[in-house]
Amino acid sequence: MKVITSVQDMQAICRRHYRSGVSIGFVPTMGYLHEGHLSLMKEARVANDIVVVSVFVNPLQFGPNEDFESYPRDAKGDEALAEEAGVDYLFYPTTENMYPKPLNNSLKALSRTGVLCGRSRPGHFDGVVTVLAKLFNIVSPDRVYMGLKDAQQVAVVQGLVDDYNIPTEIVPVPTVREADGLAKSSRNVYLNDAERHLAPRLHEALVKSSLLVKDGQNNPQVIVESILDFISDLPGSIDYVEVLSYPELEPIEALTGQVIIALAYRFSKARLIDNIIIDAGGIANV
């Protein structure tokens, strides 16, 4: 595995591979890699000749009071994990190299953003589509692997690819969880012991709501209430609990077609998100 820190080098290498006709699988991340990231890398490894993983904590997608400065970083650990996953190139650009001067043009995520994290993190998805447009042009991937833990991000980025005819396929990958159900996340390190003990209740609430659906409940409001009720005694605060169509992310009157049940919860230092996606065929991403 080669570690590349220069945007120009990474682009030159990928262009060479692209011209020689090999397929490129790409996993964009913010690092502090864990088994969730690993499953994306493994899927990429199976389906592509070359696998590129980027690690870049993108300042553009953090709000002024968010955790950009304190976001966990571990370059050595990331390198070991990526190497173990059979990655060919670990791309570690600096902020100065990614954004050498103010942008002349901006990308704005216009739809699918007035709900869920788009509502509670204004500007977040503008930062996401901006950095991914850059990374897609640097890496020229045939396939991009993205986790359904961030299901809204997958939907928004699919919109970017569709709008701008970006010649890549977005491959959604199911959420990887701890044994107790907590979705793996780089931000789980922010949890104190008591919070870590309670955090699996978020996933439990989603599973319970999916059982309600299985039993025939199709009123989104009842589902939301059941989740709010189940997590009401946790020590933090609820950011949102929403039931929407997926991937359109529109409000629904009744559960039909593919639906996302999603929540965000603030513990003392960690804001955690989780979701399940349900369709007529059953439950995906539990």
Active site residues: 37
CB 21, min distance to ligand AMP, A: 27
Instruction: At 280, list the tokens.
Output: 């007529």
Angstrom distance (rounded) from CA 259 to CA 234 = 26
CB 279, min distance to ligand AMP, A: 19
Residues interacting with ligand AMP, by CB under 6 A?
29-30, 36-37, 39-40, 146-147, 149-150, 173, 175-176, 183-186
Task: Give 211: exposed, middle or buried? Use CB within 10 Å, 0-12, 13-18, 19+.
Answer: exposed
* Nearer to ligand AMP among residue 17 and residue 124 (C-beta): 124
CB 155, min distance to ligand AMP, A: 12
Collect all residues with Cβ–Cβ distance below 8 Å to 116 and sequence separation of at least 6: 152, 240, 242, 244, 249, 262, 264
What is the Cα Rg of the chain in Å?
Answer: 19
Collect all residues with Cβ–Cβ distance below 8 Å to 212 and sequence separation of at least 6: 222, 223, 226
CB 184, min distance to ligand AMP, A: 4
* Nearer to ligand AMP among residue 73 and residue 214 (C-beta): 73
For the chain, give me the number of helices (H) and strands (E)? 10, 10
* Nearer to ligand AMP among residue 175 and residue 210 (C-beta): 175
* Nearer to ligand AMP among residue 61 and residue 220 (C-beta): 61
Instruction: At 248, list the tokens.
Output: 């359109």
